[in-house]
Amino acid sequence: MVTLPPKSDQKILLELNGVKKYFPIKGGILKRVQGHVKAVEDVSLQLYEGESLGVVGESGCGKSTLGRAILGLEELTEGKVRYKNEEIQDLKRKEKLKFVKEMQMIFQDPFASLNPRQRIGHALEEVFTMHTNMSAKEKRKSVIDLLDEVGLKEEHFEKYPHEFSGGQRQRIGIARAIALNPSFIICDEAVSALDVSVQAQVLKLLKSLQEKYKLSYLFISHDLGVVRYFCDRVLVMYLGNTVELGTVQGLFANPIHPYTQALLSAIPRPTVQKNLKRIRLQGDLPNPANPPSGCPFHTRCPIAQDMCKVDKPAWQEIEPGHFAACHFAGTKI
């Protein structure tokens, strides 16, 4: 179990134990299972109340699948998800309904998650129709309050999705996510499709909502600069595996896994720091249907030794609250 001692006023909100998600590969005339894509491989961690935990890694490393598995949008292959001290992965549909209000998701493309033929106000009213007994008047007022909460106006109630900018549509996605007063929100590349100036506005909105409603975020992103600004801790994933976890300050100042070092070296920097070494990894990401033996990163790792090809490294605490899975953790490339 990967843990970080919480502050005295923090409680564990979400806990993952050995979470795995495999997708079957079927072939032949009878469409029999011939293998599995190992999208998420043995992930264990804890998220605290009021915390923002960033999840980073290359495309295809399992970030989004992990988020969907936590919410039950993907059925777990193995492992346990505990939310507020209650295991939720095996609950039946009706039993899970009470967690719908508690756990929400903000998607990368809000336009794809909105009905293009439905006015925004009516789309948001559906949330209250499904989960409350509000009257039509109460629902309308609640939606108008929501729009105001995320920086939109009452006049937007009757507009269609195509009449909004990308940033405004993402605000609508945020409004829908907070409608039922959740405690936990997964942000799946929530600002990656936005211009830099709009990103800053949306991130500021998410921060203010977190402070106001005591929200916890699982912030999935490929933008390490955004993660550094927004998150408290960072989880680095590679080929479905967790390879490093630590505070933002600790991980960015002293990355101890070679993959994390390579990721951080790719962040654009001001010209005054242009002499910093750029680490270029060789080869492509291995096939998750046939991952390498031993350490999953050894095929691209500049410091890999023979033991890395055979033995998969275990999680170890290299520094207080700073974990990594590497036989040579802390070695600088």
Range of the domain at 298: 12-102+182-324
- 218 and 166 co-located in one domain: no
Burial of 42 (0-12, 13-18, 19+ CB in 10 A): middle
Residue 280 burial (CB count, 10 A): 9
Confidence (pLDDT) at 8? 44
**Tens of pLDDT, residues 248-280:** 999 999 999 999 999 998 887 654 345 567 888
- 107 belongs to a structural domain: no
Confidence (pLDDT) at 271? 42
Q: What is the mean pLDDT of residues 47-54?
A: 96
Most trustworthy range by pLDDT among 106-115, 176-185, 264-273:
176-185
Q: Could you say which of 181, 202, 228 is where a domain stops?
A: 181
- 81 and 217 co-located in one domain: yes
When comparing pLDDT for 212 and 269, which is higher?
A: 212
Confidence (pLDDT) at 270? 56
- 205 and 127 co-located in one domain: no
Confidence (pLDDT) at 143? 96
Beta-carbon contacts of residue 278 (< 8 Å; ≥ 6 apart): 265, 266
- 68 and 150 co-located in one domain: no
Number of H helices, E strands in the chain: 9, 12
- 108 belongs to a structural domain: no
Q: Is the pLDDT of residue 3 over 50?
A: no
- 166 and 197 co-located in one domain: no
- 91 and 214 co-located in one domain: yes
- 174 and 187 co-located in one domain: no
Q: Is the pLDDT of residue 89 over 50?
A: yes
Beta-carbon contacts of residue 226 (< 8 Å; ≥ 6 apart): 191, 199, 203
Confidence (pLDDT) at 275? 53
DSSP secondary structure, 105-148, as one string: EE-S-GGGGS-TTS-HHHHHHHHHHHH----HHHHHHHHHHHHH
- 213 belongs to a structural domain: yes
| Percentage of the chain modeled with pLDDT above 70 | 95
What would the two tokens of residue 247 be?
Answer: 């505070």
- 192 and 233 co-located in one domain: yes
Domains identified in the chain, total number: 2
- 203 and 156 co-located in one domain: no
Confidence (pLDDT) at 276? 60
- 137 belongs to a structural domain: yes
The pTM (predicted TM-score) of the whole model is 0.91
Q: Could you say which of 156, 181, 206 is where a domain stops?
A: 181
- 313 and 195 co-located in one domain: yes
* CATH, residue 310: 3.40.50.300
Confidence (pLDDT) at 5? 44
- 94 and 221 co-located in one domain: yes
| Percentage of the chain modeled with pLDDT above 90 | 72
- 234 and 311 co-located in one domain: yes
